Amino acid sequence: MTKQTMSILVLCSLLLSACGNSNVESLKSNDNKDQVQQSQVQVEAGKAKEKEKEIPKEIPISPIPELGQDSVIKFKYHMNSNYDIIPNDAESPKKVVLLTFDDGPKDADMINRMIDTLDKHQAKAIFFVNGYKVKENPDLLKLIHNREQIIGNHSWDHIILKKIPEAEVKQQIEDVQEIVKNITGETPVFFRPPHGAGGDVGKKVAKDNGMLYMTWSNGSLDWEMKSSDSDHTATIIKNITDQLHSGSNILMHELPWTVDSLETLLTQLETRGYSFVDPRSIELKMR
């Protein structure tokens, strides 16, 4: 095989691997879609010239820059006043759930296992982090960011914001914006107050910082469980499926039993016909 033939094959293989990521691709802007379609034409042309059995299997897969996370993602959903996720048009599936994990980042092993499972199901989730945890574990925040999951603001401490003065609420929220920006280069666009209790001031400060404020519409109750409980997975799945409805905004936490249950949960949700909404496709204004 000549060097030139090998180069063509490497290029074709890289393009094929990029096109195979249909979940990401479907959320790109029209411009990027055109690029992807063009790439597919090139790939088809390349395939016609070479027999498939000659394509080496060990080609390293590199990310394709135009399919990276900086790409513009089209808003296809919005959040209603019940914190449910609603499609903007008939083309976007109605049976979706939003996956969220609060109170981290705590532990690299738990985070990696959660994201391995999310990746397996081509799912994106919001990790609502507390500032004091981020300060203790900046590398864990980077891990979530580098593995292309979405970081949300859960305020600095885990306190009830509606009980404290406005200036303190502002600091609780804006200090998290700052530390996340400093570590990842990106500022969160989703805010969830601790205990779901942001009050009017929390809502205003979130809005002033360009964030979508949310509590949840489906609580897993994983925060009420203890390690000594039996059959965590069955309980978490029952709690979620009992409340399951189109657009469910599912509250979970970075907890060992939630990590252990995630694979079964996501499979169950898919079996029931639900898919996982990409948080980046949700408009940042409630309506």
Give the catalytic positions in this structure.
102, 253
Token reading at 82: 């019940």
Rule CB under 5 A: say whether 102 interacts with Zn ion: yes
Residue type, 246: S
Q: Which is nearer to Zn ion, 136 or 270 (CB)?
A: 136
Rule CB under 5 A: say whether 194 interacts with Zn ion: yes
Q: Which is nearer to Zn ion, 87 or 152 (CB)?
A: 152
Q: What DSSP character marks residue 31?
A: H
Residue type, 120: K
Sole window of 29-37, 65-73, 100-108, 277-285 interacting with Zn ion (rule: CB under 5 A): 100-108
Question: Closest distance between Zn ion and the C-beta of residue 195, in Å?
Answer: 7
Question: Closest distance between Zn ion and the C-beta of residue 130, in Å?
Answer: 7
Q: Which is nearer to Zn ion, 87 or 198 (CB)?
A: 198
Question: Closest distance between Zn ion and the C-beta of residue 77, in Å?
Answer: 23
Question: Closest distance between Zn ion and the C-beta of residue 222, in Å?
Answer: 11
Rule CB under 5 A: say whether 103 interacts with Zn ion: yes
Rule CB under 5 A: say whether 254 interacts with Zn ion: no
Rule CB under 5 A: say whether 193 interacts with Zn ion: no
CA distance readout (Å), 261 to 74, 127, 222, 235, 254? 31, 17, 10, 9, 12
Q: Which is nearer to Zn ion, 14 or 250 (CB)?
A: 250
Rule CB under 5 A: say whether 105 interacts with Zn ion: no
CA–CA gap between residue 197 and residue 211 (Å, rounded): 16
Q: 3-state SS of the chain: helix, strand, coil percent to 5? A: 50, 15, 35
Element (H, E) at 248: strand 248-253
Taking Cα atoms as reference points, which of 204, 211, 196 lies closest to residue 249?
196
Sole window of 54-62, 102-110, 202-210, 264-272 interacting with Zn ion (rule: CB under 5 A): 102-110
Q: Which is nearer to Zn ion, 194 or 279 (CB)?
A: 194
Sole window of 161-169, 194-202, 226-234, 241-249 interacting with Zn ion (rule: CB under 5 A): 194-202
Question: Closest distance between Zn ion and the C-beta of residue 215, in Å?
Answer: 10
CA–CA gap between residue 129 and residue 140 (Å, rounded): 10
Q: Would you list the DSSP string of 91-157?
A: TS-SSEEEEEEEEE---HHHHHHHHHHHHHTT--EEEEE-HHHHHH-HHHHHHHHHTTPEEEE--SS
Which residues would be at the binding site for Zn ion (CB under 5 A)?
102-103, 194
